[in-house]
Structure 1
Amino acid sequence: MQSLSKQISTKFERCAGISPSRLQLLHQLYLVDEISQTTLQKEVKIDSAAVTRHLKQLEVAGTVSRRNNPDDNRVTLVKLTDRGRHEIIVYKKEKQQFITQLLKDFDEQERSTLSDMLNRMIHHINQL
């Protein structure tokens, strides 16, 4: 499973031009107007140093903006820029095409069974 995960991540990154971690960050930001960097880090379950590194690079690229919370200077607020919002829409389409290609030889029953099995595995992992 680890090998499959690594291969999927590598291929997706090549196809979409973005790492799964960054896509996950952008997707979470797409769901909210603005969020604290700490809350974002907890939502995506990526260590804080990696989140900071990704956000700095995304900020330089113009896809996210960060600012100090005016009510508490210790808190950094993060949100997508208009450019970032456009890019996440494109990435989501590319991800869907990637998944479609990945599962192209699976019939509907096989897809449903696979989805059920993966969801049960996620449930079991969360219980550990």
Structure 2
Amino acid sequence: MNLREISRLLYQIKLTNQEINTLFEKETGFSLTRYEMLMFLKDKGTCSQNQIQTELKIDSAAITRHLKILEQKGYVIRERNAENNREVFVQLSDKAIQDLEACGKKHDQGKSSLSLSLSDEEAEQLSILLNKLYLQS
């Protein structure tokens, strides 16, 4: 592939990413990043802010901004570690658990326009290709 072909492909990925993120947030009420943060907490339980940052590969300033917004909306509870004041623990609130469940039910019942026009096999292939690109960088 020449540089121009690579540029076009990457730009196409960028535009697709923007459209999908906008649609996801419109349908769910959550940005994709914040949704992934909430789902990580749902899966793992109470975690340190650093664990979330490492898992989602987000810089420390961004993770702090996202968590502040989620806390203001009542979705997470942040508490400083009493033994190490620099460490912050994060957990889901009951409101977050209820809203995530409602969001999932809405999608599962087909009441959401958020669907990828990909078969399960195509989605798996796309995931493999994206991982290949990600690991290459």
Smaller-chain TM-score bracket: 0.7 to 0.9
Contact 1:69–1:76 at 8 Å: present in 2 too? yes
TM-score by length of 1: 0.82
How far apart are the structure 2 equivalents of 1:85 and 1:125?
A: 31
Gaps of at least 5 residues in structure 1 are none
Higher strand share: 1
How far apart are the structure 1 equivalents of 2:106 and 2:49?
A: 26
Following superposition of structure 1 onto structure 2, how do residues 1-128 of structure 1 map, counting pairs within 5 Å? Answer: 1-94=13-106, 101-103=115-117, 106=118, 108=119, 111-128=120-137
RMSD: 2.2
Higher relative contact order (CA 8 A, sep 6+): 1
Contact 1:16–1:94 at 8 Å: present in 2 too? no
Gaps of at least 5 residues in structure 2 are 1-12
Identical residues among aligned pairs (%): 31
Contact 2:81–2:88 at 8 Å: present in 1 too? yes
Number of equivalences: 123
TM-score by length of 2: 0.77
Contact 1:23–1:91 at 8 Å: present in 2 too? no
